[in-house]
């Protein structure tokens, strides 16, 4: 580990919310000028704290070589990334070498991109979503000028003609042969590095894949763009990879079925029912009464001919144990031989009892 890598890792060790530090090989065009990547929790001032910790060992210009992210490194960067962990001697050397106060802050009392001190900071917004410029205007008011141009062709011409500090660009118009980001990397790589892509949560994988195909890296934000995020970008000069992963749809609740039958074929056919159904097959009185009194039971399928040891029809035995379960009852019988005292639905199913049969049956009943 080089002394610079040791120092960067050391100053970030004491920052709450900093999770991992990586050195980037920088051997590929993908890495560009990036030398470090830092994974951190998002929010709670962690980005600003990490930025000012880095200023103890880096200049403001050198901070632009550090990627701050909170999800994962893309494949193009991951290939050349080395996880940095300090040994005890390295930590002691860094403690003796690294200044307690930041030389960069002593030379310049305010960050170079303080929102309230930079009236000339300019944003180019290439996005048809009106919420993006509204977030910018609501945060900075007159402290930062912004130009909105939703047409990527016109925006590209504007970017070449005028000076912009940062570009917020809809990811949908960034890629492809005529995409704004593709064009900028072919003509003005310095400006291309200042493009921040904006996309929906579900587009994250596609966005990273497109960056990987270009063999480049740009930070990106998830919609909706929050004013607080833009303020942190302006005040620290850093862009954290803020990404809200799409919430996984909750798995469908498992439907629970009790099958009361003494036919061995039924047990064999239902031995493997898949994850959507949880089926218990029994002819034992005690197990059946235990199961039927469970509140999350969706369906009971019971042989009309099966009887208890006391010669009581099994279905009546279960109804006595839990009267309301009668509404969720289906009999195993011939179509014309269901008991007259059965439920109003008159549900009857013939053998063989298979998984497909149960799946169709249970759809008739609401979830427990």
With bands split at pLDDT 50, 70 and 90, how would you rate the model's confidence at 6?
Answer: very high
The two tokens of residue 106 are 């002593």
* The pLDDT of residue 336: 63
Query: Which of these, 141, 101, 148, 106, lies nearest to 123 by C-alpha position?
Result: 148
- Which is more confident, 112 or 50? 50
Contact between residue 277 and residue 362 where contact means Cβ atoms under 8 Å apart:
yes
pLDDT in tens, 152-180: 899 999 988 888 878 889 999 999 888 99
DSSP bridge pairs for 37: 22, 67
State how far the alpha carbon of 312 is from the alpha carbons of 287, 305, 315, 320, 326, in Å: 16, 10, 8, 11, 16
Contact between residue 174 and residue 181 where contact means Cβ atoms under 8 Å apart:
yes
Model confidence at 29: pLDDT above 80: no
Mean pLDDT of 246-275: 76
With bands split at pLDDT 50, 70 and 90, how would you rate the model's confidence at 68?
Answer: confident
* The pLDDT of residue 237: 54
Model confidence at 246: pLDDT above 50: no
The whole-model pTM stands at 0.46
* The pLDDT of residue 343: 56
Residue 242 class from Cβ within 10 Å (0-12 exposed, 13-18 middle, 19+ buried)?
Answer: buried
Query: Which of these, 27, 10, 32, 25, lies nearest to 211 by C-alpha position?
Result: 32
Contact between residue 55 and residue 240 where contact means Cβ atoms under 8 Å apart:
no
- Cβ-based neighbour number of residue 154 at 10 Å: 11
User: Would the CATH topology of 113-249 be identical to that of 255-362?
Assistant: yes
Domain boundary assignment for the chain = 1-109, 113-249, 255-362
* The pLDDT of residue 114: 43
With bands split at pLDDT 50, 70 and 90, how would you rate the model's confidence at 69?
Answer: confident
Lowest average pLDDT, out of 30-34, 244-248, 305-309, goes to: 244-248
Buried/exposed code over 173-197 (b: 16+ C-beta within 10 A; e: otherwise)? bbbeeebbbbbbbeeeeebbbbbbb
pLDDT in tens, 87-113: 989 999 999 998 887 665 554 433 444
Lowest average pLDDT, out of 9-18, 47-56, 150-159, goes to: 47-56
Contact between residue 37 and residue 80 where contact means Cβ atoms under 8 Å apart:
no
Lowest average pLDDT, out of 88-92, 132-136, 138-142, 310-314, goes to: 138-142
The chain-wide mean pLDDT, for the chain, equals 79
CATH annotation of 255-362: 3.40.50.2300
Domain 113-249 class, CATH top level = alpha beta
Tally the residues of the chain. 368
Model confidence at 116: pLDDT above 70: no
Contact between residue 144 and residue 138 where contact means Cβ atoms under 8 Å apart:
no
What contacts 125, CB < 8 A, 6 or more positions away?
132, 133, 136, 146, 147, 148, 149, 167, 168
SS3 content of the chain, % helix, strand, coil (to 5): 40, 20, 45
The conformation of residue 224, written as its DSSP 8-state character, comes to S
- Which is more confident, 364 or 137? 364
With bands split at pLDDT 50, 70 and 90, how would you rate the model's confidence at 335?
Answer: low
- Can you give 125-172 as a three-state secondary structure string? EECCCCHHHHHHHHHHCCCEEEEECCCHHHHHHHHHHCCCCEEEEEHH
* The pLDDT of residue 164: 84
* The pLDDT of residue 5: 93
Contact between residue 198 and residue 127 where contact means Cβ atoms under 8 Å apart:
yes
């Amino acid at each position: 580990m080089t002394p610079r890598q040791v120092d960067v890792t050391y100053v970030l060790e004491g920052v709450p919310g900093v999770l991992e530090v990586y050195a980037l090989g920088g051997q590929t065009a993908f890495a560009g000028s990036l030398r470090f990547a830092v994974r951190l929790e998002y929010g709670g001032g962690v980005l600003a704290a990490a930025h000012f910790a880095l200023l103890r060992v880096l200049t403001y210009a050198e901070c632009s070589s550090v990627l701050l992210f909170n999800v994962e490194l893309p494949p193009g960067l991951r290939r050349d990334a080395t996880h940095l962990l300090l040994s005890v001697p390295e930590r002691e050397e860094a403690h003796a070498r690294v200044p307690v106060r930041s030389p960069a802050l002593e030379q310049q009392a305010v960050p170079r991109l303080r929102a309230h001190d930079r009236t000339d900071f300019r944003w180019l917004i290439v996005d048809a979503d009106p919420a993006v410029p509204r977030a910018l205007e609501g945060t900075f008011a007159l402290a930062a000028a912004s130009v909105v141009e939703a047409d990527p062709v016109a925006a590209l011409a504007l970017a070449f003609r005028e000076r912009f500090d940062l570009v917020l660009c809809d990811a949908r118009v960034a890629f492809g042969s005529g995409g704004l980001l593709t064009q900028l990397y072919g003509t003005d790589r310095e400006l291309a590095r200042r493009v921040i892509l904006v996309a929906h949560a579900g587009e994250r994988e596609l966005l990273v894949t497109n960056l990987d195909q270009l063999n480049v890296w740009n930070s990106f934000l998830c919609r909706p763009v929050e004013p607080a995020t833009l303020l942190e970008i302006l005040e620290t000069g850093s862009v954290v990879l803020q990404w809200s992963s799409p919430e996984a749809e909750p798995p469908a609740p498992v439907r629970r079925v009790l099958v009361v039958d003494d036919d061995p074929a039924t047990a064999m056919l239902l031995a493997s029912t898949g994850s959507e159904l949880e089926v218990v097959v029994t002819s034992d009185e005690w197990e059946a009464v235990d199961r039927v009194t469970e509140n999350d039971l969706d369906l009971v399928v019971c042989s009309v001919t099966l009887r208890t040891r006391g010669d009581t029809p099994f279905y009546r035995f279960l109804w006595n144990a839990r009267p309301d379960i009668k509404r969720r009852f289906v009999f195993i019988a011939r179509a014309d031989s269901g008991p007259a005292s059965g439920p109003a639905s008159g549900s009857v199913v013939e053998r063989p009892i298979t998984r497909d049969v149960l799946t169709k049956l249970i759809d008739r009943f609401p979830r427990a």
